[in-house]
Amino acid sequence: MTNVKLAVVFYSMGGTNFQLAKWAEEGAKEAGAEVKVLKVQELAPDSVIQGNEVWKATVEATKDVPIATSADLEWADAIIFSTPTRFGNIASQMKQFLDIQGGLWATGKTVNKVVSAMTSAQNPHGGQEATVLALYTSMMHWGAIIVPPGYTDQVLFGAGGNPYGTSVTVGQDGKMIDDVQAAVKHQAKRTVTVAEWVKKGNQ
């Protein structure tokens, strides 16, 4: 196994994408990767967060997770992004993180990064696929190598069969409706495997 370095970069308001990130970490470690789980900077005012019990609890639960930096992206051979859907697009916190990587991009340090993406929404047709595709648009500009799960394993069908990236529907109670743990772990392992091929090919 080539020592693949994977950054799992997430934004989570209700805890769902934090959980997806942790499952991705498990899958990647099972595949032999060195993994960093990182959150993007929160942009919402504290007054808004404090008025929402679920949001406040997620901030508390993730308080010890390091904030992702450009240096983390440069370190990584592969990156898995996990972001909730916001009006059919990626969350502004994740968008901000991508937008401030111009220096990394301008020096060619995003080229050939192996990337994959995951998302969540409160209903099955709330823009889950559009969100993953929107993130992949930025990755094309980066010159990254996009690794979608496709239909490469039967576990994906049990998770809703999204070929672009694992997505999960979250009920009004805040709990995941779909069982996506196996799909997330498969996607992470697939991302690590492709990153290993790319890394070997570059040596």
What pLDDT score does 53 carry?
94
For residue 183, the tally of other CB atoms under 10 A from its CB is 29
- One DSSP character per residue, the chain reads ----EEEEEE--SSSHHHHHHHHHHHHHHHTT-EEEEEEPPP-S-HHHHHT-HHHHHHHHHTTTSPBP-HHHHHH-SEEEEEEEEETTEE-HHHHHHHHTTHHHHHTTTTTT-EEEEEEEESSTTSSHHHHHHHHHHHHHHHT-EE---TT-STHHHHTT--SSS-EEEB-TTS-BSS--HHHHHHHHHHHHHHHHHHHHHH-
The pair of structure tokens assigned to 116 is: 């994959």
Note the pLDDT of residue 2.
Answer: 64
Residue ranges of the domains in the chain? 5-202
Structure tokens at 51: 């008025």
Q: Can you give the pLDDT of all 203 residues of the chain as single tens digits?
A: 569 999 999 999 999 999 999 999 999 999 999 999 999 999 999 999 999 999 999 999 999 999 999 999 999 999 999 999 999 999 999 999 999 999 999 999 999 999 999 999 988 888 999 999 999 999 999 999 999 999 999 998 888 889 999 999 999 888 899 899 999 999 999 999 999 999 998 66
CATH number (3.40.630.10, 3.30.70.20, 3.40.50.360, 2.40.50.1070) of 5-202 reads 3.40.50.360
pLDDT at 203: 61
| Residue 104 · residue 74 · CB < 8 Å | yes
Q: Which of 197, 158, 198 is nearest to 177 (CA)?
A: 158
